[in-house]
Amino acid sequence: MIAEKVLKDICFAFPSSTNAKILGFEDVGCWHLSIIYIGIEGSDQCETFMPHNAEGFTDRNDPDLMAMFEEADGQCAREYFGA
């Protein structure tokens, strides 16, 4: 998949959501790394997903989560969208 822009963000998976279930946090929810592809194959399509090595964290500021965010490819989504 070729994207014009790759973004990264830290997102919350709400309890009982698919992502929380995949990460083993279906009862409490969790924070995880999210990757966003914009402009897929020259179109205006956008796709958001968890990386294959995603982990869940109960603390938004967990040092391991912050390290994963810094190591991930892509621009910070909050900076890109001006949030």
Q: What is the pTM of this model?
A: 0.87
Measuring CA to CA, how many Å separate 46 from each of 2, 5, 9, 29, 49? 11, 10, 14, 24, 10
In tens digits, what is the pLDDT along the chain, a chain of 83 residues? 688 999 999 999 999 999 999 999 999 999 999 999 999 888 888 999 999 889 999 999 999 999 999 999 999 999 998 86
Q: From edge to edge, which strands make up the β-sheet containing 30-40?
A: 46-49, 30-40, 3-13, 75-76
Angle at 67 between CA 71 and CA 77, to 5 degrees: 65
Indicate the domain borders of the chain.
3-81
